[in-house]
């Protein structure tokens, strides 16, 4: 094959390739799809709420079918139970009033006046000193023989005997004065012990009174809270009373079932 033929074939091949490229359909790049909004799911506009209550009489029911009620609306109320709680409250208040009265304080104990006993003791001691001094001065006998003294110094012997008797009596007076003083002190110590005992009992009574007052006041607070809630059933939601049905009756108790239609939008017929 000559070079001219080869060039011709190459030119023909180029023409064919160019024609095929010219007639090829053009494709555009893929486009991003727009995001669609997510569906909005709304909760149910209404639902039923069941309330169960126990009555002693149908008159305790404070609502009827078709009533529109708000949260905390009284559904049932038991006046009998509330009256019982009111009676207990009065009794507790009376006890608190009685316990609040002050306890009479005990009389104070003053130290005894021992002046008279102490004066008597000092006088007895002084008397003994005077008698002893007289015996030591001017009452000695000149004769050593008792027989001679009895004859020639009978007056001095008599005086000495009198001083000895006075000395003995003075010592007895001192002992008696000491005994009276000790008795007065002992009596005061006994009174002091009794006073301490009464004081301890008084303080115990005060503490017991305070403890009982605190206990009764706590009971009164609890009772008042019970009065607010006991015997009363309140609605937790706003809605419309759909149905009231007696489901049980035993002795004096009546159990009712209350169906309440609760809606998010309260403006409905």
Q: What is the pLDDT of residues 148-193, one digit of tens each?
A: 555 555 566 667 777 788 889 999 999 999 999 999 999 999 999 9
248 burial level (CB within 10 Å; 0-12, 13-18, 19+): exposed
Does 107 reside within a domain?
no
Residues 201 and 240 in one domain: no
Q: How far apart are CA 100 and CA 57, in angstroms?
A: 40
Confidence of residue 267 (pLDDT cuts 50, 70, 90): very low
Are residues 62 and 133 part of one domain? no
Distance (Å, whole) CA 75 – CA 50 = 12
Cβ within 8 Å of residue 49, ≥6 positions away: 236, 237, 239, 259, 260, 261, 262
Q: Examine residue 171 and state whether it is found in any structural domain, yes or no.
A: yes
Q: Do 216 and 257 fall within a single domain?
A: no
Asked whether residue 48 is assigned to any structural domain, the reply reads yes
Roughly how many angstroms between the first and final C-alpha of the chain, as a whole number?
A: 103
Is 96 a member of any domain?
no
Confidence of residue 119 (pLDDT cuts 50, 70, 90): very high
HSE-CB at 5 with a 13 A cutoff on CA atoms is 2
Contact by Cβ (8 Å): 231, 79? yes
> Domain residues for 213?
114-229
Question: Into how many domains does the chain fold?
Answer: 2
Residues 71 and 237: beta-carbon distance below 8 Å: yes
pLDDT of residue 112: 87
10 falls within a domain: no
Residue 189 lies in a domain: yes
Distance (Å, whole) CA 194 – CA 192: 5
Q: What's the whole-number average pLDDT of the chain?
A: 78
Count the neighbouring beta carbons within 10 Å of the beta carbon of residue 31: 6
Residues 65 and 145 in one domain: no
Cα(132)–Cα(250) distance, integer angstroms: 107
For strands 46-55 and 253-263, give the pairing.
Answer: antiparallel
| Structural domain contains residue 161 | yes
* Domain presence at residue 85: no
Same domain, 198 and 242: no
Same domain, 250 and 169: no
């Amino acid at each position: 094959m000559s070079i001219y033929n080869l060039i011709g074939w190459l030119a023909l091949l180029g023409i064919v390739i160019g024609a095929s490229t010219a007639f090829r359909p053009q494709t555009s790049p893929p486009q991003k799809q727009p995001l669609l909004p997510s569906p909005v799911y709304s909760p149910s506009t209404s639902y039923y709420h069941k309330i169960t209550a126990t009555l002693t009489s149908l008159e305790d029911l404070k609502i009827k079918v078709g009533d529109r009620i708000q949260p905390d609306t009284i559904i049932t109320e038991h006046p009998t139970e509330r009256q019982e709680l009111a009676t207990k409250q009065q009794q507790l208040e009376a006890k608190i009033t009685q316990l609040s009265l002050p306890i009479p304080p005990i009389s104070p104990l003053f130290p005894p006046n021992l002046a008279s006993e102490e004066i008597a003791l000092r006088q007895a001691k002084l008397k003994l000193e005077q008698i002893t001094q007289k015996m030591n001065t001017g009452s000695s006998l000149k004769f050593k023989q008792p027989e001679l003294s009895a004859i020639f110094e009978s007056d001095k012997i008599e005086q000495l005997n009198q001083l000895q008797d006075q000395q003995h009596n003075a010592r007895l007076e001192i002992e008696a004065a000491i005994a009276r003083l000790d008795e007065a002190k002992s009596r005061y110590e006994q009174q002091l012990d009794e006073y301490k005992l009464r004081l301890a009992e008084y303080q115990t009574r005060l503490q017991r009174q305070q403890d009982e007052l605190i206990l009764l006041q706590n009971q009164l607070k609890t009772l008042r809270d019970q009065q607010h809630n006991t015997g009363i059933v309140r609605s937790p939601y706003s809605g419309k009373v759909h149905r009231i049905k007696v489901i049980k009756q035993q002795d004096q108790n009546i159990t009712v079932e209350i169906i309440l239609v609760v809606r998010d939008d309260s403006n409905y017929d």
